[in-house]
Homo-oligomer: A and B are copies of this chain.
Amino acid sequence: MAGVNIKMLASKLNISIATVSKALHDSHEISLATKQRVLALAKELNYVANPYASSLKGKSSKTIAVVIPEVADSFFALSINGIESIAQKNGYHVLIYLTHESFSNEQAILKVIQNGRVDGVIMSVSSETTHTDHIQELQQKGIPVVFFDRVCEGIDTVKITTNDFQSGFEATQHLIECGCKNISFFTISDKLAISQHRLEGHRQALKDHQMEFNEKDIVFCNNDEAFNYEAIKNLMKQKKHPDGVIASVEKLATTFYVVCKEFKISIPDKVKVIGFSNLAAAAILNPSLTTVTQPAFDMGNAAASGLFRILGEKVFNYQEESMVMPSALVVRDSTSSGK
């Protein structure tokens, strides 16, 4: 039932297992006749090599790990598509691990993939991640780690990012040009480089337009839907609520819409909003949502390509592979001025 192996092929053909192994790998030192006999039987018996036995010897698991905060998020889902397409092309298998934005989960995951389970790791860190010993430990064990989107700047490796500062800048500038005087910035972390950069872009735009930045205009959200809902509700129930909002994380835009709907606050009349989002449905929201859209698929693709290039080298060379892929501001009705 389970397990037709090399030994079985060998005994059925009355040849040695070494010959079978070589035949299966199309070695030059095996006669054509033997190869054909082996291949024929292998096909007949539906032989598939036990990957873990090969891995034990060969040192390559043909497996990578993708460690991300969440999969029910269109950015990460699309990234996975990008990663998978490259992995597939290279004959690699993809293990998925979700941190759910928890640092201790992230630590536990990296720990458990340390010894041989994977050849490399592609990750986007959790919003709680501030120190990086767990990541460096992995690197020290010879397992390359590549970052995409949420990178750790202090770590020397390939980093695929998008132009977060610029995106935050443009989003804010766009709102200002639409007449917003009082802009709120929704974020999930003050630790994440990506969040910081978006916020810095935001502040720079304010500054360039001689507008004041106030710490109170930052709304910190987290992984708890109910908490976020309350926070946004508290913000919007004020008489003098903001007239512009930047949701620097996809799901926060959705929550914001829900709150506005509930309070009957009209978008874009009373408040304009821009979401950082890859939602296909952004265009058909009520009203359609102006977005900063990241090249999610391409970023996943680039991260995987970077990883495989590293895996192909004897000595890892990280520097050159890093890249910044531009996001696009797509203007829709949620920031339209007229009406």
The interface of chain A, by Cβ under 8 A from chain B, is 1-4, 46-53, 55-56, 61, 63, 66, 71-74, 77-78, 80-81, 84, 93-98, 111-112, 114-117, 137, 140-143, 251, 254, 257-258, 261, 279-281, 283-288
Instruction: Give Cα distance in the complex from A72 to B250, angstroms.
Output: 14
Instruction: Give Cα distance in the complex from A75 to B61, angstroms.
Output: 31
A3 smallest CB distance to B (angstroms): 7
Q: Which residues of B are found within 8 Å of A3, using beta-carbon distances?
A: 115-116, 141
A140-B1 CB under 8 A given contacts A52-B56, A56-B53, A279-B281: yes
Q: Which residues of B are found within 8 Å of A78, using beta-carbon distances?
A: 72
A49 smallest CB distance to B (angstroms): 6
Residue of B nearest to A111 (CB): B48
Q: Are B81 and A77 in contact (CB under 8 A)?
A: no
Q: Which residues of B are found within 8 Å of A115, using beta-carbon distances?
A: 3-4, 47-51
Instruction: Give Cα distance in the complex from A52 to B51, angstroms.
Output: 9
Q: Give the contacting residue for A72; candidates B77, B114, B137; CB below 8 A.
A: B77
Q: Are A46 and B254 in contact (CB under 8 A)?
A: no
Instruction: Give Cα distance in the complex from A280 to B275, angstroms.
Output: 15
Instruction: Give Cα distance in the complex from A3 to B50, angstroms.
Output: 21
Q: Are B285 and A142 in contact (CB under 8 A)?
A: no
Q: Give the contacting residue for A281; candidates B96, B111, B137, B254; CB below 8 A.
A: B254
Q: Which residues of B are found within 8 Å of A283, using beta-carbon distances?
A: 258, 261
Q: Give the contacting residue for A93; candidates B95, B143, B257; CB below 8 A.
A: B95
Residue of B nearest to A281 (CB): B281
Q: Are B2 and A141 in contact (CB under 8 A)?
A: yes
A278 smallest CB distance to B (angstroms): 9
Q: Give the contacting residue for A141; candidates B1, B140, B284; CB below 8 A.
A: B1
Instruction: Give Cα distance in the complex from A166 to B72, angstroms.
Output: 27
A226 smallest CB distance to B (angstroms): 14
Instruction: Give Cα distance in the complex from A35 to B129, angstroms.
Output: 33
